[in-house]
Every structure is written in structure tokens, then in C-alpha cells.
Amino acid sequence: MSGTTEKLGVYIETYGCQMNVNDSGIVGRILEKSGYALTDRIEEASCIFLNTCAVREKAHEKIYSRLDSLRHYRERNHTRIGILGCMAQNLSDDLLAQGLPIDIIAGPDAYRQLPQLIEQCKDAPAKNTRLSAQENYEDIAGGMVSPGGVTASVSIMRGCDNFCTFCVVPYTRGRERSSSPESIIREIQRLTAQGVKEVLLLGQNVNSYRSEGLDFCGLIARILSETDIRRIRFTSPHPHDFPVHLLELMATEERFCSQIHLPLQAGSSRVLGLMKRDYSRDEFLSLVRTIRSIVAGPGLSTDVIVGFPTETEADFQETLQVLEEIRFDMAYMYRYSERQGTYAAKKMADDVPDEIKQDRLERLIRFQTAISQQNNAAEQGRVHRILVEGRSKRSALEQSGRTATGKMCVFKPESEEPTLGGKEVDVRITDSTSATLRGQEICQK
């Protein structure tokens, strides 16, 4: 969208998780209702918002650097600069104390107040970081549609009650609260009417969803019966309360994609206990065996942290052993970084040296990349049903999309249509890398 000539343009940059992407959509819609226009040209903006993440130290560093680079907009054009999201919630006082070019600070539950905060910041920075036990923005259409218009994300709940010792989310996004099934179904129906074929259901812990007597599996069943959406995915569940009846629904419903992101975090039961993950190594392995016994050939991905306080080389080797046994298709891998306000930051010494953390991370990445490459190589010769998202980024002659198990596939189409976006086609896999399948559409006779 273009900005207005009255300099009421709003430019939003989003960092971090898919939930933040969704929240940026909510922010945009709130401000549009107050007379602002979204712009993708930063020089047209009267307000620049950075929607931030607080989960990793690198996310913080990016924001500090970006704020410095934006200083001249504020000095020359009197553009207001705002910090939104988890970093705003967790580090608001620190941000203001550093003399950074910031006019507005708003936590994840304060987005409805942004029009007022913009007005209040003329003489001094305006801040609202109050957490809410009720706010879920369910009356605001926040589903974010992909550039190709084929996929979209829908938030079904906010907050988290788990309080893992390393995680800042309960402190930045508050306690769990779920949107009503009616509001979720309305949003998916709206997106389907726009041509969206696949939705990703979002929550910090989606399998804790509860509303109007409905659990997460019940919500999926209602979406399947009350909407025409072609594919449903979700992220992220917690392993400690994963419902078996959800797996049984996945196994029987083609539209419910057989892809599960299952955060491991560590392969050592001792470290998992320190993390307060509420499951052991053996319990996690048992859950994966249950998943694979019910759902045929599911796509599995995970999160792993190395260098958590007191982690030894033996603990790290246990993590590698779990990855070898499970053989995840993909993993998000990080070195531990202390987060202000968490139990670990208050009570546990960050005692694993940085060079050891980095060494373990590099070894972990090499180890998992080899597994991902082997898993994808095993797909060669198989046929997958692909939901086409659009042209490949690297070649106008190829299309791209995902398998039901969540793997990205680039393929040569049967025809020379300008785009196949939104269609489902059968593709035979001919080659692969650790991250991508390659193939050829099968001719329909």
C-alpha cells in the first residue's frame, strides 16, 4: 500500500516468529481504522514501527543496530519511531535509558492503544507495556496472507503457562488465553473467500487451546467441517501434553497435514529438568514412536538449544544421540543466550563458555544437516501432492510449493502456464538438497 500525502504513512518491520508477523497485521489494521495508511516506502512514513523479538540475543542486536540506522529519519523528518512486541515488553526501561531514537514503546497487549500513543509522544516517549489476561484481538482480522496469496497464518491463542526456565515468552506475552472457535472459523472463511488454500494455526502452545469446552483437536474438527480450507497446519505444540486423539484425526483427515513441529530443546534428561520442560528424554522418544505408529510418514521438525547452564559434553552427546534416533527432517538450532527476567537468568550461572557454545552449535548444525540431506535423498522416486505457492525464487520456469509433510519442493511444471499458484499437482521427486526437494510434475492423462 502507498502512504498518504498528509504524511500519515506507517511503515512496519517485523522480526522474529510467525506470531509477530501476525501481530504486525493486527497493528496495521488498527492503525488503518484510525486514518493511517500502510506504506512499504520508509521515506513516506510518519511512523516507523519495529515489531521485535526477545527470544535470542541476536534479535536484540539487530534492533539496536536498526534503531541507529533510523536516527536520521527522526532528526530530519520528525518521523516517530516505535518499538513493539516482546523486546518492548521485556526491555522498555533499558531501551529508553540508552538514548536510542524511540518515541513509542508498546507491548503485545497494547496495540489497540497505538493511535493514542502516537498522539501522546509529541513531547516525551509514550509507553504502554501492561499485560492483559483477556486480550486476544479476536475481533480484528489478523490473518497474514503470503505474498502469493495461497497460504495464511491465523492466531488461535496467545501467551504461555509453561514457564520454561530459559524462555521469556510468559513474561512478554502473558498467560494463555484462547480465541473463540467462532472467531477463528470466521477468519478462515474470510481467508478462503480470498483464495487462500492453506492456514497455519499459531500459538505459543497450541495443544493447550481451550475455549467453550473445545480442545485443540475439537477446534481442528470444527475447521474441517465448517470451512473449505484445503490444508491445515499448526505450530507449536508442547511435548508434555500432546493429545493422541489429535494424531488419530491427522491420520484420517487428508486436509490436516501430517507435519508436526515438536520442540526437543535438549537430549539430556538432566538438562531438560533444569529447563523445566516436564518430560524426559525417554518420554520424548516414546512420544515420537507414538506419532509414527499412528500417522504414516509424518514430517517432523524441532528446536534445539546448546550451551544451557551446566551442559557438559556428555549432555551434548545425548542430544546428538536423540537426533540420530529420531532423524528429524529439519531443526532450528541455537546457542543459549540469557534472557532478562527468566528463571535461568535469575538463578543459574551462564557458565558454558561462548567458544564451547559456538563449537557445539556448529557440530550440531553439521550433524542435523547430514540427517536432513539423507532424509530428502530418500524421497527420490516418490510422488508427492504439492500445493503450489507460486514461481520458484530462482527460476521463472519452475514452480514451488510444499508437500503435506511440510517439505519445500521446486519442480518443473507440465504446462507453460504463467502460474499454478493455489493448485495441487503430483510431483515425482528427482533430486534434493538438505533443505529442498526437486522434481517434475507428472503429466495428467
pLDDT 10s digits, 251-261 = 999 999 999 99
Mean pLDDT of 189-215: 95
More confident residue, 231 or 124: 231
Three-class secondary structure of residue 382 per DSSP: coil
pTM summary value: 0.93
Could you check whether the bond before residue 395 is cis, i.e. omega within 30 degrees of 0?
no
Segment 268-306, tens digit of pLDDT? 999 999 999 999 999 999 999 999 999 999 999 999 999
- How far is 264 from 246, CA to CA, in rounded Å? 19
> CB-based burial of residue 238 (10 Å sphere; 0-12 exposed, 13-18 middle, 19+ buried)?
buried
What's the rounded Cα separation, in Å, for the pair 251 and 257?
A: 9
Give 256's DSSP letter.
B
Cell digits for 196? 487462500
For helices 216-226 and 244-252, the axis angle rounded to 10 degrees is 20
Q: How confident is the model at residue 171 (pLDDT cuts 50, 70, 90)?
A: very high
Distance CA 18, CA 24 (A): 10
Spatial neighbors of 167 by CB under 8 A, at least 6 apart, are 55, 160, 339, 342
C-alpha cell at position 267: 537430549
Residues facing 408 on adjacent strands: 402, 436
- Using a 10 angstrom Cβ sphere, with 0-12 exposed, 13-18 middle and 19 or more buried, the burial of residue 300 is buried
pLDDT band, residue 21 (cuts 50/70/90):
very high
Give the mean model confidence (pLDDT) for residues 131-154. Answer: 88
The residue-averaged pLDDT of 379-393 equals: 94
SS3 content of the chain, % helix, strand, coil (to 5): 40, 25, 40
Write out the DSSP string of 103-123. SEEE-TT-GGGHHHHHHHTTT
- Could you tell me the domains of the chain? 9-128 (3.40.50.12160), 132-257 (3.30.750.210), 383-441 (2.40.50)
Task: Answer whether 369's CB lies under 8 Å from 421's CB.
Answer: no
Check residue 1 and give its pLDDT. 37
Residue 5 reports pLDDT greater than 60? no
Confidence label for 401 from pLDDT (cuts 50, 70 and 90): very high
State how far the alpha carbon of 352 is from the alpha carbons of 25, 241, 265, 360, in Å.
39, 31, 16, 11
Pick from 370, 292, 377: which is nearest to 331 by CA? 370
Q: What is the dihedral of CA 228, 234, 240, 246, to 10 degrees?
A: 20
| Average pLDDT in the chain | 93
Q: What is the mean pLDDT of residues 30-53?
A: 94
C-alpha 343/C-alpha 347 separation (Å) is: 6
Residue 59 is predicted with a pLDDT of: 78
Mean pLDDT along residues 151-176:
95
Q: How many residues does the chain have?
A: 445
**From CA 414, how far away is CA 403, in angstroms rounded?**
18
% pLDDT > 90, the chain: 84
Question: Looking at residue 4, what is its pLDDT?
Answer: 39
Q: For residues 175 and 53, give the distance between their C-alpha atoms in angstroms, rounded to a whole number.
A: 17
d(CA 441, CA 444): 9
**Per-position DSSP letters for 59-97, written without gaps between them:** HHHHHHHHHHHHHHHHHHH--EEEEEHHHHHHHHHHHHH
Report pLDDT for 64.
Answer: 92
Q: Give the integer Cα–Cα distance in Å for 240 and 162.
A: 10
CB–CB of 264/327 below 8 Å?
A: no
User: What DSSP state is assigned to residue 386?
Assistant: E
Cβ atoms of 376 and 434 closer than 8 Å: yes
- For 161, which DSSP code? S
User: In whole angstroms, what is the distance from residue 440 CA to residue 11 CA?
Assistant: 40
